[in-house]
Structure 1
Amino acid sequence: MATKLFLLLILLSHVASSLSEECHPQDKRTLLQIKKELNNPTLLSSWKPHTNCCDSSWYGVICAPSNNRVYSLLIEMNEDLASPFPPSIGNLPYLESLLLYQLPNLTGSIPRSITKLTDLKSLTIKKTGISGPIPNFMAKLKSLTFLDLSENHLSGTLPFNLFHLPNIEAVLLQNNKLTGSIPPSMARLNSLVVDLSHNRFEGDASVFFGFAKKTETIDLSWNMLAFDMGKLEFPESLKHLDVSQNRIYGKLPDGVKNLEWLNVSYNRLCGEIPTGGIMQALDRNSFSHNKCLCGSPLPSCK
């Protein structure tokens, strides 16, 4: 009986060993190093050296069935995790999706090592303590389609070369401390969603508009932007526009009639609100607190 039990234990140990080998050794070493760089938070207590990181037991880790390489990493909603951004994340060469969310004590700047993630398609670093500028080297992430750096402590100006992201579909940078003017080079950015709201941008933002664009949503609210709205050319694809709480002047162009939602309140706009589309169906708060806008849903023009 003792011999059979011993053989069973040997068999089980071989099975456990083979299961642990399903996780690529390089990826496992990298994940354990990331855990160390994050000061071994209890959130990652399931990341154990002698277990398989690809069998769904490791928190936030997903491997591709085809090659057992880590392609998605999610770490979120933990106030006890306190450390700088772990540079070893750049050593997961097959990573396609990275989400770091609601980690207020994750601090420091975005490390250059992130540029080694050449397969990265979705990057979310949101509601963290990350600070410093958005680095120019972010433009090296050529596979990126989704970029969300919102609700952090990022400061400084926009990188001039963000337009180098050829596949980008969404750029979300709201609720930071970003400043300065919008680089003219951003005119070549052709994403579907742009959100720069709740920052400190100033000057002209007309680079985000134009007939040739494919943009569907633009939110520039709560900045210090100042440009002539009457000169804007709206892409046919544009459906949602929020430029409230700025210093924008001029009149509303006829293109606003094709929108599905609009907010231009708290600016310096003048003239009659165009008729047609959803303009008269919108709440008056969408147009209020301007210099001299008039017409339905505001009081009629004299």
Structure 2
Amino acid sequence: MDHSLLSSFIFTFLFSALLISPSSSEKCNPSDKKVLLEIKAAFGNPYILASWKNDTDCCSWYNVKCNSTTHRIYQLTIFDGELSGQIPAAIGNLPYLEMVDLNNLSNVTGPIPSALGKLKRLTFLRLNYLNLTGSIPSALGQLNELTLLYLNSNKLTGSIPSQLTQLTNLNALNLSSNQLCGQIPVGGKLQSFDASSYADNKCLCGAPLDSCK
């Protein structure tokens, strides 16, 4: 190979390397990235999620955290911003999530998706100061690793599902300021929390509140 051909070959190789370097350096799991973009679309592509772009590495996006070893998304945290719509069931398709924290987002409405019950690694679930309606899904009782559950300051109705007694690792609970009714299920950790965890509901009763009539 003569000198000119060799120089041309080297130039082409280096130029090609520059072109592919952004994608080759991306750490984000492709499945996680796809789900996050679905979540963004479900919320109407809000400004608060402006960093979530298909041509960037989702491990660098705001409002999420990526494990430095597995490169899987393990935290989703959005608060104090303009976010509207219902919590999409697609969140349940991020299997490595350990924390879901959505709070102080008054335009987030609708039900709590039962798909959250698929997040077997979840330890922290805070969905408070939103405008959620409907009942607490029994599927949350499948979150065996859960240590914190805050659903306070919404418009949740119905009774507390008995499946929450299965959350034996729970050490923080707040279901106050909703429209819940009925007897607090007996068992598990539910009686270990004080009355403030259940305060300001429509007609909850049973320990640690007053006994049911």
| Superposition TM-score tier, normalisation by shorter sequence | 0.7 to 0.9
Separation (CA, whole Å) in 2 of partners of 1:202 and 1:107: 23
Tell me how far 1:200 sits from its aligned partner: 2.3
State the Cα deviation string for residues 170-227 of structure 1 (Å, max 9, x = none).
11111111122223x2x4326864511111234432xx4xxxxxxxxxxx5xxxx358
C-alpha change, 1:103 and 1:128, in structure 2 (3 Å) is: same
What corresponds to 2:5 in structure 1?
none
- 1:28 paired to 2:28: no
Listed as ranges, the gaps of 5+ residues in structure 2 are 1-7
- 1:76 paired to 2:103: no
Task: Say if 2:168 and 2:188, in contact at 8 Å, map to a contact too.
Answer: no
Separation (CA, whole Å) in 2 of partners of 1:201 and 1:18: 57
| Equivalent position SS for 1:161 | helix
Listed as ranges, the gaps of 5+ residues in structure 1 are 209-219, 228-302
Calculate the TM-score normalised by the size of structure 2.
Answer: 0.86
Task: Say if 1:122 and 1:144, in contact at 8 Å, map to a contact too.
Answer: yes
Tell me how far 1:140 sits from its aligned partner: 1.0
| Equivalent position SS for 1:74 | strand
Tell me how far 1:161 sits from its aligned partner: 2.2
- AA paired with 1:61? V
What corresponds to 2:182 in structure 1?
180
| Equivalent position SS for 2:92 | helix
What corresponds to 1:189 in structure 2?
189
C-alpha change, 1:17 and 1:192, in structure 2 (3 Å) is: farther
Q: Which structure shows the higher helix fraction? A: 2
Separation (CA, whole Å) in 1 of partners of 2:148 and 2:191: 9
State the Cα deviation string for residues 29-48 of structure 1 (Å, max 9, x = none).
00001101111111101000
Task: Say if 1:123 and 1:147, in contact at 8 Å, map to a contact too.
Answer: yes
C-alpha change, 1:202 and 1:143, in structure 2 (3 Å) is: closer
What corresponds to 1:254 in structure 2?
none
User: How many aligned positions are there?
Assistant: 203
1:35-50 aligned within 5 A: 35-50=40-55
Calculate the TM-score normalised by the size of structure 1.
Answer: 0.62
